[in-house]
Amino acid sequence: MTARDLGPHISEAPSDFEFFQLVRLLTRLAPFREPVGRFAAPGEESVRFGGEPELSFPPTEVRGLELEVAEGPPRMGVHFFGLIGALGVLPTQYTELVRERERNGDRAMGEFFNLFQHRLLSLFVRAWERSRPGVAFERGDEDAFGRILMSLVGLGTPGLAGRQAVKDQALVYYAGLLSQMPRSSSALEQIISEYFDVDCEVIPFA
Average pLDDT, the chain: 85
Query: Over the stretch 97-148, which tens digit does the pLDDT of each residue have?
Result: 999 999 999 999 999 999 999 999 999 999 998 888 778 777 777 777 777 8
- Residue 5 pLDDT > 80: no
Is residue 122 classed as helix, strand or coil in its secondary structure? Answer: helix
- Give me the number of domains the chain comprises: 2
- Specify whether 149 is located in the same domain as 134: no
Is 0.85 topped by the overall pTM? no
Assess contact for 53 and 101: CB atoms under 8 A: no
Q: Determine the pLDDT at residue 110.
A: 93
Range of the domain at 79: 7-139
Residue 61 falls within a domain, yes or no?
A: yes
Residues 49, 114: contact at Cβ < 8 Å?
yes
CB 33 within 8 A of CB 57: no
Q: Give the pLDDT confidence score for residue 206 in this predicted structure.
A: 64
For residue 203, tell me if it sits in a domain. no
Res 1 pLDDT > 60:
no
Name the band, by pLDDT with cuts 50, 70 and 90, for residue 40: confident
- Looking at the fold, whether 80 and 155 belong to one and the same domain comes out as no
Based on the domain organization, do 112 and 158 belong to the same domain?
A: no
Task: Indicate whether 154 and 190 sit together in one domain.
Answer: yes
Same domain, 110 and 169: no
Q: Please indicate, yes or no, if residue 206 is contained in any of the structural domains.
A: no
Q: Using CA atoms, how far apart are residues 26 and 35, in angstroms rounded to an integer?
A: 9
What are the φ/ψ torsions at residue 34 (nearest 5 degrees)? -85, 145
**2 lies in a domain?**
no
